């Protein structure tokens, strides 16, 4: 399965809005990619999360990214 990825660097208090999700969804459709992952250093608005769900985009906010990093971290020897 092929995924499209997009990363957005937003500051605290500046969540990813629905327009960014729609633009990413359009880019995925143009490339004929069915699924996407949209990562951000901030959070997503409720509308952006809803739009993500409709378009098979998996939103990953700052908390999810930190969890990914922790899960990948090797134990200290």
CATH number of 3-72: 3.40.1340.10
Cβ pair 25, 53 in contact under 8 A: no
Q: What is the pLDDT of residues 1-27, one digit of tens each?
A: 899 999 999 998 999 999 999 999 999
Give the distance between the most distant pair of CA atoms in the chain: 47
Instruction: Name residue, tokens 């990562």.
Output: 39
- Band of pLDDT at residue 47, cut at 50, 70 and 90: very high
Nearest Cα neighbor of 15 from 42, 36, 38 is: 42
pTM: 0.86
Predicted local confidence at residue 14, as pLDDT: 95
Instruction: For residue 13, give the DSSP letter.
Output: T
Q: Are strands 3-8 and 57-60 parallel, antiparallel or unpaired?
A: unpaired
Q: What is the pLDDT of residues 27-43, one digit of tens each?
A: 999 999 999 999 999 99
């Amino acid at each position: 399965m092929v995924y499209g990825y997009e990363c957005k660097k937003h500051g605290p208090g500046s969540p990813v809005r629905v327009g960014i999700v729609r633009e990413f969804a359009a880019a995925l459709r143009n490339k004929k990619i069915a699924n996407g992952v949209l990562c951000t250093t901030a959070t997503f608005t409720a509308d952006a999360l809803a739009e993500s769900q409709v378009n098979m985009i998996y939103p990953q906010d700052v908390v999810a990214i930190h969890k990914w990093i922790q899960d990948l971290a090797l134990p200290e020897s």
